[in-house]
Structure 1
Amino acid sequence: MARKGDQVDGLTEAFEAERGKLEAVAYRLLGSHSEAEDAVQEAWIRLDRTDGIDNLGGWLRTVVTRICLDMLRGRKAPPEDPDELEQLPAVRRTPEDEALVADSVSRALLVVLDTLEPAERIAFVLHDMFAVPFAQIAPLVERNPVATKKLASRARQKVQGTPAVPAAELARQRRVVSAFLDAARAGDLPAILDVLDPDVVRRVDTAALAPGMAAELRGARAVAEGTAALSGRSQLAELALVNGEVGVVLAPGGKLFLAITFTSEADRITSYDVVADPDRLGGLSIAVLSAER
């Protein structure tokens, strides 16, 4: 049935009021800005063909979630170009909408979400990030509320991971690696030297080697200079739990490109390994390093 002009204008306005929230949901479900926009656009097409919707926001969220679930199930390869910027193009959003899309969705979290089964991801994202009741999520993943709650719980355990060391040791590792990462991002050679053991060793596997980069460096000065030279790459790096200990991941667009594992004593790093080989990355356990850890 054709819509009158004022109906079309009203529907468009109502949809645009929901767009930011929908893209926030879709981005967390898909981990890709471009795919999130595609999912929301598809929801608009379906809305334009539908009449008599009482709860527009709820209807749109349900439709977007189902579209995302289909996209996750149909995925065969990483959807995101590693060079894609971590900002959505501006599309008539309010400041509140922008905040919804940009709020603390770390690349490390996207890496972990990408390891979840589609139904786990739907249950976890909708419940833990958007406080959607399990009773409303259950029909979307074709389970009852109890089973849906178990899906979210299983996903939560994967996201949080299990530290391999006591809390005090994890906190120490975090201080050391965080200081190293801050200094690396700034390209601050003295600050990098401060956190390196004099006999530190840096190893880089072949897949991570940049032109002119040595596969192994020894000594604080050589390692610090090599680290400072890559300060641009460090801007995309984030702390994460790697094999149960504090490490670093580099994940442009939320797709894991490399991981760094560290050994340290007291307040100094004694060695670190840069891993980028796909087979080696696949063997790592990556989890989010939560604020309280």
Structure 2
Amino acid sequence: MSQREILSITSGRATSDGAGVSLTRVFGGAAPERFDPFLMLDEFGSNDPDEYIAGFPPHPHRGFETITYMLEGRMRHEDHMGNVGLLESGGVQWMTAARGVIHSEMPQQQEGTMRGFQLWLNLPSHAKLGDPDYRDFAPAEIPQLALPGGVQAKVIAGVFKAGDIEQHGIVQRPDTEPLLFDLQLSAESAVSPQVPDGHRLLLYVYEGTLRVGEQAVSKGQLVQMSQDGELNLSSERGARLMLLAGRPLGEPIVQYGPFVMNRREEIEQALRDFRDGTLA
């Protein structure tokens, strides 16, 4: 079988969001169709409360899904639907904004480390004005695999396949059919996750150094792979990475801040709805 090729290797940029939370925007912003169906990936991580304590006060979303994966720390979610949830170390929050959600995400700690990721996943045009949804998953609910050779996998979304091993994640989604895995490779280990041909595939290394085929990839680098072929990952000294894969929607993307639709007119309608109090 042919090997997937590396199309690009990039690094994120330091920025802040919410009420001043420091983070690294791994990708997102200009040209959102570049990683279709993924719109944005943020990595946050600090042991300085001044860099996270102000959190994310109430704000709106429309037209996509947000997935928050907490590595360390505690964050409280509240939304206009009456949902209240506590996202703790190792937990996942999956929110489908669809036609509209107004929510807040606020730290529940005054000190210590807060570390994790937030991913934005687009919705197809037929689902953008559907019913919103929210789900919290405790760490114990997320399937974890100990693979031969010293590789561990947390299977958040989709189905993890490698050799004869197959494990379904906690979330399965239509249309974009996302795969979201947290992979940890020990020293001198290797793994070949199976990713469906046609899926856009991104690898983000957040600890150590990964080898993709024969190419070394360092901490803080994002790799975009070709959409067909076999994927071979290894590490000489150990690495941890997020594997993101999804079926591109191939639809127009128009984004204005927290609203992601297909046409400018739909963005203008979202702004009117938010102003008039009818977004959610």
TM over 0.5: no
More helix by share: 1
Report TM bin, short chain: under 0.3
Say which structure is richer in strand: 2
Larger radius of gyration: 1
